[in-house]
Amino acid sequence: MWKWNRFAFCLIIIAGDLNLWIWEGESKQYNNNMKAMYFKKLEKIKKREIDAAFVPLDPRQGKDAFEGILSFMEYTESSHVFPMHFWGKYEIIREFLDRYPEYEKKVEVIEREGQEFYI
């Protein structure tokens, strides 16, 4: 479920556990169902201007770790995207941006716990 918050003309999305959860070892049917559910949700916010979004980037997904955040970036017009659920593996954010440098100005690089951002 998406959480929508509007503060003084800002739209903030906290994706929480909503992600393209593809897992190695799960059945093809399971992973296809997860894809269908995720893209159904993304369709609801397609091309929506989002000021800040908190989106999973989970290294436990292995080769599929980038798929959810990548799809989110492609579907929305987000100004600031904060990766989450990366379990202290901060380097995955830089790995994502190395592969997709076109999102360098939109994806915030988190380098430590407690880091503050001013947007």
Domain hosting residue 47, numbered range: 3-103
Instruction: Tell me, yes or no, whether 109 lies in a domain.
Output: no
Within a domain: 112: no
- Per-residue CA distances from 13 to 2, 4, 20, 53, 62 (Å): 7, 5, 16, 5, 25
Assess if residue 87 is contained within a domain.
Answer: yes
Residue entry with tokens 């269908």: 36
Task: Return d(Cα 59, Cα 54) in angstroms, integer.
Answer: 16
Q: What is the value of pTM for the model shown? A: 0.89
In this predicted structure, what is the pLDDT of residue 8?
A: 61
Distance of alpha carbon 21 from alpha carbon 9, whole angstroms: 31
19-78 pLDDT, tens digit each:
999 999 999 999 999 999 999 999 999 999 999 999 999 999 999 999 999 999 999 999
Indicate whether 49 belongs to any domain.
yes
- 17 assigned to some structural domain: yes
- Per-residue confidence band for 17, with pLDDT thresholds at 50, 70 and 90: confident
Tell me whether residue 113 is in a domain: no
